[in-house]
Amino acid sequence: DGGITQSPKYLFRKEGQNVTLSCEQNLNHDAMYWYRQDPGQGLRLIYYSQIVNDFQKGDIAEGYSVSREKKESFPLTVTSAQKNPTAFYLCASSIRGQQETQYFGPGTRLLVL
């Protein structure tokens, strides 16, 4: 069954702690993306990667880091430098080419203790 999985569904972060959100896809998609969703706001891009071992900052990359060591995986780390991390985090993937529809995972809700 092809798709995008994100884990965990809920994540709690303590002050000063780094946490990592997992995103895996088995769709053989080249590109992967991380978005942040806050109430009343549109999805905002954090980072994206078009190929393995390469990624670009999005509009709100400060306080976040990513890696892309495998085509199927694109983990997002929320560092202690991110002062307002409470949000719904969404991972997406797409093929590259003429038609680049992005498909989304189920999301991870991050809460601060």
Partner 1 sequence: EDQVTQSPEALRLQEGESSSLNCSYTVSGLRGLFWYRQDPGKGPEFLFTLYSAGEEKEKERLKATLTKKESFLHITAPKPEDSATYLCAVQAGQAGTALIFGKGTTLSVSS
Pick 55 or 78: Cβ nearer partner 1: 55
Q: Does 109 interact with partner 1 (rule: CB under 8 A)?
A: yes
Q: Does 55 interact with partner 1 (rule: CB under 8 A)?
A: no
Contacts of 101 (CB under 8 A, 6+ apart): 94
CA distance 67 to 55: 8
Host H or E run for residue 5: strand 4-7
Please answer whether residues 34 and 89 qualify as being in contact, where contact means their C-beta atoms are separated by less than 8 angstroms: yes
Q: Provide the 3-class DSSP secondary structure of residue 14.
A: coil
Q: Does 57 interact with partner 1 (rule: CB under 8 A)?
A: no
Q: Does 60 interact with partner 1 (rule: CB under 8 A)?
A: no
CA distance 11 to 77: 12
* Site map 13..42 versus partner 1, x via CB under 8 A: ------------------x-x-x----xxx
In this chain, which of 1, 14, 84, 97 binds partner 1, going by CB under 8 A?
A: 97
The distance of closest approach from Cβ of residue 34 to partner 1 in the complex, given in angstroms and rounded to an integer, is 9
CA distance 101 to 104: 10
Residues that bind partner 1 (CB under 8 A): 4, 6, 31, 33, 35, 40-45, 48, 50, 58, 88, 90, 96-107, 109
